[in-house]
């Protein structure tokens, strides 16, 4: 074969190899770009999801740093010599206190957290409920004479106060629950909140009853599986009335 023909053949194969590699490289580049594009799209979707969550929390005005740190309840049981201390109840900037629970709803009406006799009593959990109950009721005195923690619930007569104090925390030995208030009202004869063991198929009706006649409306939602907490104190209106604050776990 002549040299010129050999040269042409070699050149042909070189060009062919270059073309093949170019095609392969182009295909690889397109795939890489698609993969990068898909990864970026997935990344931005995650960012948007996180951002939406942050916006939701911001709209809820839930600032976890406003809550006090968890405490050792066993320390307070020993400090007050009271094994009936069951939880810590807090509404930030309002009160932060120990809650007791015994075998009835009368003892702590006139006994302090250290079990000493005291007309001012102490805040206590309904003996029919516990920290695992779907509905938890907690009671405390109000007084025109003494400065008592549950007397501060009167602040919720002002809707602007509610807007800035919507959350309740209940800490117990193995965890805590955070609730958002959905109702505050005064009652004189309607004691629906005292029904602490409502069947699941009637629970939403029960909660709607608690929400009815609230001093102001809220957009807090609940369903038959919701957990709720009810705080009760008497008013100072001399008409045997009570303030009822209802909140749902979030």
Over residues 87-138, the pLDDT tens digits come to 999 999 999 999 999 999 999 999 999 999 999 999 999 999 999 999 999 9
Looking at the chain, the whole-number percentage of residues with pLDDT higher than 90 is 71
Tell me, what's the pLDDT at 66? Answer: 80
Q: Which two tokens stand for residue 63?
A: 């600032």
The Cα 69–Cα 165 span in angstroms is: 18
Residues 22 and 81 in one domain: no
Tell me, what's the pLDDT at 228? Answer: 98
The Cα 232–Cα 162 span in angstroms is: 16
Using pLDDT thresholds of 50, 70 and 90, give the confidence band for residue 168: very high
Residues 169 and 122 in one domain: yes
**Residue environment code for 31-41, b if the CB has 16+ CB neighbours within 10 A, otherwise e:** eeeeeeeeeee
Using pLDDT thresholds of 50, 70 and 90, give the confidence band for residue 28: very low
Give me the numbers of helices (H) and strands (E) for the chain, helices first please. 4, 8
In the predicted model, is pLDDT for residue 8 greater than 90? no
Residue pair 138/229 in contact by the 8 Å Cβ criterion = yes
Number of domains in the chain: 2
Residues 148 and 211 in one domain: yes
The Cα 84–Cα 115 span in angstroms is: 9
The Cα 141–Cα 169 span in angstroms is: 20
Which domain-ending residue is among 42, 60, 78? 60
Residues 98 and 196 in one domain: yes
The Cα 106–Cα 240 span in angstroms is: 17
Looking at the chain, the whole-number percentage of residues with pLDDT higher than 70 is 74
Comparing C-alpha atoms, which of 87, 77, 153 is closest to residue 115?
Answer: 77
- Output the domain CATH number for residue 227: 2.40.260.10
The Cα 25–Cα 226 span in angstroms is: 58
Residues 182 and 165 in one domain: yes
Q: Which two tokens stand for residue 30?
A: 């397109």
Tell me, what's the pLDDT at 112? Answer: 98
Domain that holds residue 122: 64-249
Comparing C-alpha atoms, which of 191, 190, 166, 196 is closest to residue 178?
Answer: 166
Residues 41 and 75 in one domain: no
Residues 22 and 125 in one domain: no
Tell me the per-residue pLDDT of 35-79, one tens digit each, with 9 for 90 and over: 434 443 443 343 333 333 333 333 445 666 689 999 999 999 999
Q: How many CA atoms lie within 13 A of 144 on its CB side?
A: 4
Residues 70 and 194 in one domain: yes
Residues 130 and 231 in one domain: yes
Residues 74 and 185 in one domain: yes
DSSP state, residue 119: T
In the predicted model, is pLDDT for residue 34 greater than 80? no
Mean pLDDT in the chain?
85
Which domain-ending residue is among 60, 84, 105? 60
Using pLDDT thresholds of 50, 70 and 90, give the confidence band for residue 238: confident
Tell me, what's the pLDDT at 142? Answer: 97
Comparing C-alpha atoms, which of 167, 149, 26, 165 is closest to residue 99?
Answer: 149
Where do we find the tokens 């095609």?
23
Tell me the per-residue pLDDT of 140-160, one tens digit each, with 9 for 90 and over: 999 999 999 999 999 999 999
Residues 88 and 181 in one domain: yes
pTM score, whole prediction: 0.75
Using CB atoms within 10 Å of the CB of residue 104, give its burial: 0 to 12 exposed, 13 to 18 middle, 19+ buried.
exposed
Residues 16 and 132 in one domain: no
User: What are phi and psi for residue 216, nearest 5 degrees?
Assistant: -145, 160
- Average pLDDT, integer, range 191-200: 96
């Amino acid at each position: 074969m002549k040299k010129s023909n050999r040269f042409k053949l070699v050149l042909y194969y070189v060009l062919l190899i270059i073309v093949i590699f170019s095609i392969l490289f182009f295909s690889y580049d397109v795939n890489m770009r698609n993969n990068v594009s898909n990864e970026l799209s997935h990344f931005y979707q995650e960012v948007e999801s996180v951002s939406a969550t942050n916006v939701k929390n911001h709209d809820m005005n839930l600032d976890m740093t406003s809550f006090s740190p968890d405490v050792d309840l066993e320390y307070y049981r020993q400090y007050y010599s009271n094994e009936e201390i069951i939880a810590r109840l807090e509404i930030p900037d309002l009160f932060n206190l120990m809650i007791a629970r015994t075998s009835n709803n009368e003892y702590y009406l006139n006994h302090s957290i250290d079990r000493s006799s005291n007309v001012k009593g102490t805040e206590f959990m309904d003996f029919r409920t516990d920290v695992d109950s779907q509905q938890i009721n907690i009671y405390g005195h109000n007084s025109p004479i003494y400065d008592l923690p549950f007397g501060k619930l009167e602040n919720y007569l002002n809707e602007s106060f509610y807007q800035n104090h919507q959350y309740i925390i209940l800490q117990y030995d193995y965890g805590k629950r955070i609730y958002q208030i959905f109702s505050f009202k005064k009652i004189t004869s309607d004691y629906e909140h005292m029904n602490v063991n409502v069947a699941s198929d009637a629970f939403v009706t029960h909660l709607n009853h608690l929400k009815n006649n609230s001093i102001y409306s809220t957009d807090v939602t609940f369903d038959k599986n919701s957990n709720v907490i009810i705080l009760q104190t008497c008013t100072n209106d001399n008409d045997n009335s009570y303030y009822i604050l209802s909140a749902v776990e979030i």
